[in-house]
Structure 1
């Protein structure tokens, strides 16, 4: 027994697990069962941990230690809820509440009960009550000098603050909780929960600077603990998200596959839905639409909404009606700031592709406001890109360029080559519309190289078609296409003559030829043709 305890003290969870397993729970004291339960949570499965903690609960109860018994009940409730066993989780929460009432006096276990009640409030969508419960738990943690409760409740306060749009306050609270982890103040199970909860909070507002820093810290923490299985799945998910941002898509797919395997090993299949969603998004960008569709279906089967990725898939399949219908549903049902951060970029992309420019414009403004509140470079880049795309689609290529230049700078600073390439392609399209074909070619050539580097074949092919169309539609000549692009950007005949160094009479002749070849009677109809055939 001394050997198992020594392993536990050193943090060698696998050795402690092996030693205590050989002895068996019947020969362990209540305190040893507590430790064994923690070890099983770290290196074993949920199904193994529950009976050990239940035995510890009974041992504490038989010894008359109501405080320790209530603590075990809280741990059981949290673990069961995390694994989707909500009925049992509620039963253990009720049992913990009974014991706290029996204790009578103010105690730290009341703070843990408030923490459990916070999760119930979140499930009911009552963010005000969730915040009140998180504050109550935090006060108890500070009052009784319980480092675990203080850190968990501080992290919870941060997440609730972010959910209610108080991004700066929430991120500061997450920072506070993370300091307590890296300082070594917390028990191992709670440390892992704080790591993962804080990283998820930062990821939700696209604060990838914090995500990268904290994921690296989590990875070091996991590697320093032999045999650790818990939390390694989440670590792989977050590594994959960073790799996707940085254009290392093959590595990202491997990390998500590894994460799924670890979730299965832990007996927690629920989070696999997130890995399926992330995988589907990358496969869609690579052009493997069938495999992406399968991933989105798997995510949906596991309770994860595959939108707006699935709408973008339908768009790639030229199924614009279901794509717009999905976006309409998302925009109508998603009102919280976090959900809006998640759905707005994809929704704007779908609406612009379906010519709903004026519907997309206020969404770009909303995204800009959210990005400003979050202080996120990635969200700011997405907002600037959305503004630029809206102006380009509305025919104001010159108005779109400053936004797109800003977006490209921010994407580059965020080390996101794919998104930077998308922005360069949009810049090239603006320059084409403005008649600056040489500059447009340089931008689009660079974009195509980046698309090929990350494996985004559909976008690389689209860029190639703009750089060297296999044949000009409608029998148009190259000069007529230049004139048509400027007409589509709203230029008058005198302005076109100035930009192309032609006489107004020559411009009028080109325009007459364009109308005749395209069988249209107005500049508006000619511009519509240009957009429909990818000339702008």
Structure 2
């Protein structure tokens, strides 16, 4: 490590460590003006990364690279080239440009395979493998090289970064327990102060959150989102704060908090409006999925098309095509995505396979759909998380006969509830309810639809709400309540308490309580929320 001796360099280094980016930019700028020190250019590049100034980050890093080469410091030049390799992709300069810089770093460090700089090159190669190439197996190999070099050289940052990347790669390969153990250890070390560089501290935590999302562990993901958000606010880590909020919005959506997710995503997209970071596409894809669920199809399509070949956007676009009745286009869209994913990326493929089954069943592509179901079942049995088990059960239900489908939908509901996925639960309840209507089990169908409607009402509109209302309206021969019970039900749907209903209708609370108990019995429901959902479905809300 080069020791920075000038007062301005010391000031800049202190400011960087404390997250005072503007102060660091000024201090590095003074050093560059006076000495053109390549280390000052390198520091300015890192400050540019933190303030989301792509031009500053890339141009200054290129100046640092040239400066290191001019003084014969190939190790430092190699690390600068490796950083340029990843940041060129991050800031939208292009994958080809990034690969060019990575190849240059490989050449410069070829004679020093055990140097810390070679370890940081391995880190950047792992990041590109995982995030750009979707190649977790190669990413795992590079991550393990980085961790080994970190341990051999005593570079703690490098050790824990390599460990974290290895954990993320293992999770994507379906080795969830092994991968999460590595990520927990790396994130614990990072937040306890064992990782000096704030950027790598934040990245390790983001990888853990990402792994939790992919594994369907929403409780752990939410906990870490809150922890990282707290750190980001305290230390003004703006880029990481944006990434964390995007991840948090995904958790909010999955847990049914569509209002919170919408607010978070709109705020992040406004903040990143001029940003060149690829993270913005994740926010665009998520908002597109929310708009699809809300039935705002024109807005959804615009957003999802903007997100390009982002896997989440392609899956959402597939379902949008299905809801519009274009099964052929849906099948074509999702088949292309599946072909692009490596066979050993089990968790990443699981969500895609679910969409493949939906589109295949609708388009008459039954054999490919059956193969997708078989792969999903293998993944579910290996990974054994509630979220993946729910996906597999739902896929099996889509291609099964009526009797087997009913049991499979019940399994999908049970696993969705255990995973804390209310929107998925609602979809599965509606699929089950439609089977029940066909078999004449009207009372149970209505019960399932009412529960589903309760879950999706926060969306305000959309296909799930329309399906639930159709079942509730079509399955019943009129509302099986007395006029007084209907009056009480309307007020329950408005959110009034028993005491408030008693005042409104000039009844005793005891009488209101009895009416509500009779309503529950007549409708076969067990909560005020379910009663309110039923009322809305019947147009009584």
Task: Report the TM-score range of the alignment, normalised by the length of the smaller protein.
Answer: 0.7 to 0.9
Alignment partner, residue 50 of structure 1: 58
For 1:12, the equivalent position in structure 2 comes to 19
Deviates more, 1:51-60 or 1:251-260: 51-60
Matched, 1:350 2:350: no
5 Å-filtered alignment, 1:19-38, equals: 19-20=26-27, 23=30, 25-27=32-34, 33-38=41-46
Q: How far does residue 330 in structure 1 lie from its aligned partner after superposition?
A: 4.5
1:165-244 equivalent positions in 2, closer than 5 A: 165-186=174-195, 187-226=197-236, 228-244=237-253
Which structure 2 segments of 5+ residues have no match? Answer: 1-6, 478-541
Considering only CA atoms, is the larger Rg found in Structure 1 or Structure 2?
A: 1
Number of corresponding residues = 464
Give the equivalent residue in structure 2 for 1:292.
300
> Given that residues 380 and 410 in structure 1 are in contact (C-alpha distance below 8 angstroms), is that contact kept between their aligned partners in structure 2?
yes
Cα distance between partner residues in 2 of 1:107 and 1:263 = 37
Query: Secondary structure, in 3 states, of the residue corresponding to 2:474?
Result: coil
Q: 1:381 to 1:299 in 2, by over 3 A?
A: same
Say if 2:394 and 2:409, in contact at 8 Å, map to a contact too: yes
Of 388, 401, 404, which residue of structure 2 is paired with 1:379? 388
Question: In the alignment, is residue 363 of structure 1 matched against residue 385 of structure 2?
Answer: no
TM-score, with length taken from structure 2: 0.75
Aligned to 1:322: 329
Q: Which residue of 2 aligns with 1:446?
A: 451
Distance 1:58 1:355 in 2: 59
| 2:143 equivalent in structure 1 | 134
Please list the CA deviations of residues 516-535 of structure 1 after superposition, one character each: whole Å capped at 9, or x if unmatched: xxxxxxxxxxxxxxxxxxxx
Which structure 1 residue ranges, 5 or more long, are not aligned?
473-536
The match for 2:164 is 155
Aligned partner of 1:312 in structure 2 is 319
Can you list the C-alpha shifts for 1:394-452, whole angstroms capped at 9, x where unaligned? 221xx444433333233233332222222222333343344332222222222223322
CA offsets, 1:11-30, max 9 Å, x none?
Answer: 13235336426746324755
How has the CA–CA distance of structure 1 residues 315 and 240 changed in structure 2, closer, same or farther, with 3 Å as cutoff?
A: same
The equivalent of 1:462 in structure 2 is: 467
**Partner Cα distance (1:32, 1:177) in 2:** 30
Structure 1 residues 154 and 353, CA gap change in structure 2 (3 angstroms): same
- TM-score, normalization by structure 1: 0.76
Q: How do 1:278-289 residues align onto structure 2 when only pairs under 5 Å count?
A: 278-289=286-297
Give the stretch that moved more between structures: 246-255 or 141-150: 246-255
> Does the 8 A contact of 2:25 with 2:44 survive in 1?
no
**How much is the aligned-residue C-alpha RMSD, in angstroms?**
3.3
Taking a change above 3 Å as real, the CA distance of residues 421 and 19 of structure 1, as seen in their structure-2 partners, is same
Matching of residues 43-82 of structure 1 within 5 Å: 43-57=51-65, 60=68, 65-82=73-90
Change (3 A) 1:422 1:118: closer
